[in-house]
Structure 1
Amino acid sequence: MSIPTKKTEKREQISFRIASSEKKRIERLARALNRNKTFVFKEAISHYLDINEWQIAGIQEGLEDLEHGRVVSQEEIEEEWRRKSEGSVD
């Protein structure tokens, strides 16, 4: 779920080093996709950010639930699953 960059959005150049084996993987993937390496890098970064932002948001939401007492005990969960497995869902 990458977010397209607006054409009017300022673009900046970055530089970093990667292992030669990773560079070769990126080049192979770019060729297989009939895209350039920049496309592969942008997609990889976008996906990485999406996943990690989603994960951090979930953790923060869970901490807020805990802080406000919105919790369910292990026993309650086990009882609910036991009832579901027996076919008696309340």
Structure 2
Amino acid sequence: MSVMSLRLPDELAATLTLLAKATGRSKSFLAVDALREYLAREAWQIEEIQKALQEADAGDFASAEDVAAVTDKWLNHAG
């Protein structure tokens, strides 16, 4: 396992300390958990953007009729 040192703003460090005490978890556990979730979300977003760019480069766009159908559906069911 790697060790990493980082500087935290005082407010963030205080919040982390309070949360660690409240949950009975270590600050390290909470920081790793938060970082794991953040990295997974960012990786997913980058992957989806790359897929969309590939589709756009291939000319795979919705037709005007497709867009109109979805717009009509939402306008008629918006309530």
TM-score over 0.5 (shorter chain) = yes
Aligned structure 1 segments of 4 or more residues deviating by more than 3 angstroms: 83-87
TM-score norm. by structure 1 comes to 0.74
Give structure 2 stretches of 5+ with no counterpart: none
TM-score norm. by structure 2 comes to 0.83
Fraction of identical pairs, as percent: 26
Report the residue type matching 1:77 in the other structure.
V
Query: 1:29 and 2:41 equivalent?
Result: no
- As a proportion of its length, which structure holds more helix? 2
Give structure 1 stretches of 5+ with no counterpart: 1-10
Residues matched between the structures, number: 77
Query: In 1, distance between residues paired with 2:25 and 2:49?
Result: 35
Change (3 A) 1:31 1:85: same
Report the residue type matching 1:24 in the other structure.
A
Q: CA RMSD in A?
A: 2.0
